[in-house]
């Protein structure tokens, strides 16, 4: 099995989205995942989720981390609160959205 990459995780994100948990959310979330992971924009709107490479002008939330740290958070190898405390992940913007995101996706 090939190693998990940010690109693979982002491609799977729309399929892992739970529409009823994202009800009422209208947001663009910017991910900056280092040189290895690149920049991604996740859009949650009207019960749908899309993920694409790129940068958006006015994200509601920006998440910055190195690619491997992000992968470790998603796969459960790294606790998100520990990563935040150790500044391995940084959030800017709507922190309520950051907390809500944890419940919007199947892991």
Predicted confidence band of residue 44 (pLDDT cuts 50, 70, 90): very high
Please determine, for residue 1, whether its predicted confidence score (pLDDT) is greater than 60.
Answer: no
- Mean pLDDT score across all residues of the chain: 94
SS3 (DSSP) at 68: helix
pLDDT at 21: 94
Predicted confidence band of residue 90 (pLDDT cuts 50, 70, 90): very high
How far is residue 106 from each of residues 20, 21, 58, 63, measured CA to CA in Å? 12, 11, 26, 19
Percentage, residues of the chain above pLDDT 70 = 98
Residue 105 lies in a domain: no
- Specify the number of domains making up the chain: 1
Residue 1 lies in a domain: no
Residue 23 lies in a domain: yes
Predicted confidence band of residue 102 (pLDDT cuts 50, 70, 90): confident
Predicted confidence band of residue 2 (pLDDT cuts 50, 70, 90): low
Range of the domain at 79: 6-100
Please determine, for residue 62, whether its predicted confidence score (pLDDT) is greater than 80.
Answer: yes
pLDDT at 106: 87
Q: pTM (2 decimals)?
A: 0.93
Q: Residue 80 belongs to what H/E stretch?
A: helix 80-85
CATH number reported for the structural domain that contains residue 73 in this entry: 3.30.1050.10
């Amino acid at each position: 099995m090939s190693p998990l990459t940010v690109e693979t995780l982002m491609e799977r994100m729309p399929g892992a989205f739970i529409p009823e948990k994202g009800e009422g959310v209208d947001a663009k979330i910017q991910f900056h995942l280092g040189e290895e992971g690149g920049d991604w924009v996740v859009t949650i709107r009207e019960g749908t989720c899309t993920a694409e490479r790129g940068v958006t002008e006015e994200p509601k939330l920006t998440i910055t981390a190195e690619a491997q740290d992000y992968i470790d958070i998603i796969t459960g190898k790294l606790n998100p609160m520990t990563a935040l405390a150790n500044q391995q992940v940084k959030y800017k913007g709507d922190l309520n959205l950051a907390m809500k995101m944890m419940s919007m996706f199947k892991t």
